[in-house]
Amino acid sequence: MADKKTIQVIIDGKIYVLSGENSESYLHDVADYLNHKIESIRKEMWNYNKLEESVRSLLLQINICDELFQERKKVEEMQELLDQEKSESYSYKHDLVKTKLKLDGVLQELESTQKKLLALEKKEGKEKTSHEKSSHQGSNKEE
């Protein structure tokens, strides 16, 4: 278990003690975030300082919940996009494998055809040579 950190922070002009397993820097960031949200609400509402503390606290909670829900929605949308991209990637990989298999088949067929052609050329070369020899021998007899 991590060491628990305890620090004093100022939130909305009051000193509070925060503690947690996160770093002191993180706890300060939390306090800064809250101060920023409070200041944002204060700028939006001219009578913010006149509201009871419980109402101000509720407004802060509502604003933070709203922000949380918006961020969750963004995460869901990003997850959907990621899932879609993964699906497309899988489809492309599948198509690539199919194409490679076809290419391998065509290459094997090409090699086979080249071997047959080479064999035919050798056979024709031998037949031509033997035909030339027999033609040459026949012309020697005539002389």
pLDDT in tens, the chain (143 residues): 678 999 999 999 999 999 999 999 999 999 999 999 999 999 999 999 899 999 999 999 999 999 999 999 999 999 999 999 999 999 999 999 999 999 999 999 999 999 999 998 888 887 777 767 676 666 655 55
**CA-CA distances (angstroms) from residue 18 to 38, 92, 99?**
18, 51, 60
Query: The pTM is what?
Result: 0.61
DSSP per-residue string spanning 47-62: TGGGS-HHHHHHHHHH
Q: Could you tell me if 57 and 39 are in contact, meaning their C-beta atoms sit under 8 angstroms apart?
A: no
User: What's the pLDDT score for residue 114?
Assistant: 95
Q: Which two tokens stand for residue 16?
A: 């509070």
Residue type, 78: M
- Cα end-to-end distance, the chain, whole Å: 112
User: What's the pLDDT score for residue 142?
Assistant: 53
HSE-CB for 63 with a 13 A CA cutoff: 18
Question: What gap in Å lies between CA 7 and CA 120, rounded to an integer?
Answer: 90
Query: C-alpha dihedral over 131, 137, 138, 141, to 10 degrees?
Result: 180
User: What's the pLDDT score for residue 45?
Assistant: 92
